[in-house]
Amino acid sequence: MTMSPRIEVHESSAALATAVAGELLTRLADVQAAGHEPHVGLTGGTVAEAVHHELGRLSASSEVDWTRVVFWWGDERFVEPASDERNERLAREAFLDLVDVDPAKVPTPIASCSRISAAEPAPIPEIKIMTLSGTAPMTRQRSEGRH
């Protein structure tokens, strides 16, 4: 079954974030209803942060069992955990700490070189399937004769 791409245009980043969060909640619930454990790749950025806030806001009314969702970091920065640049910290504050996730299903990314050594290598989990998706705002310019 081949699916055609679906293109949606939203009037604002806030509307986009609400739409993405709503679609993700629906898909997660559908995957769980089919008896599977969904995996979600989290990323950073202004739109991702807005989506995380919307997930936190909308989760209470969803059918998602957050203890049955596995999370992965799609583009974590190589910075200390308390850094304002840390995608993990931002996602936890906006969303993950607000819902009942299983901490064992949210791996903590390596923060710095000090945690990497030959004596204590960081564990690398075996990954069977992982899907990452990115969302970024686009601006559309119109001028006479151009659309």
- Regarding predicted confidence, which is higher, 146 or 4? 4
Does 141 score more than 60 pLDDT?
Answer: no
Does 29 score more than 90 pLDDT?
Answer: yes
Q: For residue 143, what pLDDT band results from cuts at 50, 70 and 90?
A: very low
d(CA 136, CA 147): 20
* Nearest of 91, 109, 107, 108 to residue 99 by alpha carbon: 91
* Nearest of 4, 20, 31 to residue 54 by alpha carbon: 20
Q: Which two tokens stand for residue 120?
A: 């204590």
For 123-145, what is the mean pLDDT? Answer: 47
Judge contact between 79 and 86, C-beta under 8 A.
yes
Domains in the chain: boundaries: 13-108
- Tens-digit pLDDT profile for residues 79-115: 777 788 888 888 999 999 999 999 999 988 765 445 4
For 13-108, the fitting CATH number among 2.40.110.10, 2.60.120.260, 3.40.50.1360, 3.30.565.10 is 3.40.50.1360
Does 42 score more than 60 pLDDT?
Answer: yes
d(CA 81, CA 83): 6
Judge contact between 71 and 100, C-beta under 8 A.
no
- Tens-digit pLDDT profile for residues 60-72: 999 999 999 999 8
Cα 96 to its chain centre, rounded Å, is 10
d(CA 41, CA 135): 12
Phi-psi group of 106: left, alpha or beta (phi > 0 → left; psi -120 to 50 → alpha; rest → beta) = beta
